[in-house]
Structure 1
């Protein structure tokens, strides 16, 4: 998935900026600004601004927008009180994840932001499902950008824009298998507070990365250039953001999922799936796997011994006794943990299994 080519970020022109690999998932933004380990520590201990403006942004106005998305996707959206955010999956008939979006009901529209390069396919799908409903899905990536404030001091930095403090994001616990009908409240399983920004757009509080708060800002692209100065925070690159995300065990669609991934495998069940909603494509698979309690694979955090200089690429096999038992997703060098990666491994792989990825030894993190 490559970034849009007509939305070059002005934050790439800041001193020290080193662009991310143009063939990689974060093309179009800075990988770092000269010192990625220091930038990680800044995000973990104070606050920094991360350019994520290569993400796609869709807007869905129209009177039927919430009920329409409710019937299409995995999240319960009929009773959303604006402004608020959540997450949504669109599945294949067999329950495989085809699209993932973070959403916000704001200013008489649902806003959906997606992985770089994924907005076009998502828009095509939504457009094909309009029928006669009052909805108007539109790609607004050229006009709006996503950036993230990350760190314990992120709420204080946001306050410099003169907006109210956002409370924490909330993600409901996954109910047990064979739970009673009606046990899950008829509301989104994840709720992300949203507030309007002066000059247009909104801020949305996301689940934390450990002790680091995460606040997404979706705002007009012309506002990007002056944003670091207005917030009075340093910038940090995608490498720093990704390292904290991986260490927090937060999967990323398209990197930590593949064409066979179902929600219970990909670590997206709590934040993006309402298990008592029913009546959406792929729901039968979701319900059956949850009730059986054993999805074929699971997402784990692996610690690598650091022998090799190169991080494993997404798709690299995870081996146990020379037999493939999984596949690598996102990999990063964490400023404290060293090299780590998320991986999809078979359900029957023991938590203490000795694993290998290329020439490196790997061990499953028991605390994730």
Structure 2
């Protein structure tokens, strides 16, 4: 079996192929469709059985009961307070719903789904041992011998039932062309062998992440903490159906969206690259002396340079210089609003007259 380490220039870690010598050049090849990326930080869960779509619909934030074969979407599993616990990319082939999941999340999601089966006609399988995920543009992955329909990332389009908070036009992810294919072990081995012989071009996870961060695209294993509401990452646009039936956490989702505001909001940061210093996830973000939030994702983009996503307080000041506290010292940053401070409160709630005033009028 071919090994990723046999690919010329390969640098690996416990997540998989980080890069093959030039993450910046790899981004360009990925974006142009001339390279594909082995996604060692993704896993696959299959859900089969007659009740699979209605069952997943009842558990998740997405409307899946009538999901047509080959149509791509994504779903979130929320806790009773509406906080994000799990996330999955979803595509169904007419017999099986295929879930592409972050590696760090797959064990927890598969176990939770298994516990929730009850007497329904569904079967949940963690396919991490025998299936592999490869990403790239739609054209780049469409020719791969996938075992399931190719999942096409809906981001940043607003899916049916979704809602967008970001007000920029065009959205930085508007030109994002991203898809993921599921390969069996033999086909993945063949792809790695071709890359090792120089017959195809591959890119690493550093390039994949840079394109994701530049598009403001959230990811559960990186951008979520134990408090994350989907509103805070502008995740209602692709992962939440606002008018579907009841599911766990729905009350909070509706209440925050219709009557309140998310307590935090994501911002995109342009980082000072003059000293070649990069923050890491969790580094504090300050406005003056006040800590207003923390870094979630960091990357070096082939056009924008060092960039990051951060979750900040809803009332954090806008249009002011920010500082990121790194292990190597303070780092200057400029923020662009993704989720605005007034996001939410979309319902038109009639103002009722105060009881005292009504009585005095009588």
Of 88, 109, 113, 1:122 maps to: 109
Q: Which residue of 2 aligns with 1:216?
A: 180
1:30 aligns with 2:8: no
SS across alignment from 1:134: coil
1:313 aligns with 2:306: no
Q: Which residue of 1 aligns with 2:237?
A: 270
Q: Which residue of 1 aligns with 2:342?
A: none
Pairs within 5 Å for 1:57-96? 57-96=44-83
Distance in structure 1 (CA, Å) of the matches to 2:88 and 2:47: 13
Task: Report if the CA contact (8 A) 2:72-2:91 is conserved.
Answer: yes
Distance in structure 2 (CA, Å) of the matches to 1:330 and 1:40: 17
Task: Report if the CA contact (8 A) 2:19-2:207 is conserved.
Answer: yes
Q: How many pairs were matched up?
A: 325
Distance in structure 1 (CA, Å) of the matches to 2:42 and 2:218: 16
Distance in structure 2 (CA, Å) of the matches to 1:243 and 1:171: 16
Distance in structure 2 (CA, Å) of the matches to 1:142 and 1:61: 18
Is the alpha carbon distance of 1:208 and 1:130 closer, same or farther for their aligned partners in structure 2, counting shifts above 3 Å? Answer: farther
> Offset at 1:349?
2.0
Task: Report if the CA contact (8 A) 2:222-2:297 is conserved.
Answer: yes
SS across alignment from 2:178: strand
> Offset at 1:51?
1.1
Pairs within 5 Å for 1:1-368? 10-20=3-13, 22=14, 27=15, 29-150=16-137, 154-155=138-139, 158-159=142-143, 169=154, 173=158, 209-227=173-191, 229=194, 233-292=200-259, 294-358=261-325, 359-365=330-336
> Offset at 1:63?
0.7
SS across alignment from 2:221: coil
Task: Report if the CA contact (8 A) 2:89-2:151 is conserved.
Answer: no
Query: Over residues 77-110 of structure 1, what are the superposed CA-to-partner deviations in whole Å (9 max), with x where a residue is unaligned?
Result: 1111112221010001001000001011125011
| Higher percent of residues as helix | 2
Distance in structure 2 (CA, Å) of the matches to 1:125 and 1:293: 30
Task: Provide the alpha-carbon RMSD of the alignment.
Answer: 3.1
Structure 1: stretches of 5+ with no match in the other structure: 1-7, 175-183, 191-206
Task: Report if the CA contact (8 A) 1:159-1:165 is conserved.
Answer: no
Task: Report if the CA contact (8 A) 2:70-2:150 is conserved.
Answer: no
Distance in structure 2 (CA, Å) of the matches to 1:267 and 1:167: 19
Distance in structure 2 (CA, Å) of the matches to 1:120 and 1:290: 31
Query: Over residues 289-346 of structure 1, what are the superposed CA-to-partner deviations in whole Å (9 max), with x where a residue is unaligned?
Result: 0002521111111011124434211111111121111110110111221110011111
Is the alpha carbon distance of 1:286 and 1:212 closer, same or farther for their aligned partners in structure 2, counting shifts above 3 Å? Answer: closer
Task: Report if the CA contact (8 A) 1:208-1:214 is conserved.
Answer: no
Task: Report if the CA contact (8 A) 2:213-2:299 is conserved.
Answer: yes
Q: Which moved more, 1:102-111 or 1:324-333?
A: 102-111
Is the alpha carbon distance of 1:99 and 1:66 closer, same or farther for their aligned partners in structure 2, counting shifts above 3 Å? Answer: same
Distance in structure 1 (CA, Å) of the matches to 2:338 and 2:258: 24
Q: Which residue of 2 aligns with 1:193?
A: none
Structure 2: stretches of 5+ with no match in the other structure: 165-170, 340-362
Greater Cα radius of gyration, structure 1 or 2? 2
Task: Report if the CA contact (8 A) 1:89-1:273 is conserved.
Answer: yes
Is the alpha carbon distance of 1:274 and 1:350 closer, same or farther for their aligned partners in structure 2, counting shifts above 3 Å? Answer: same
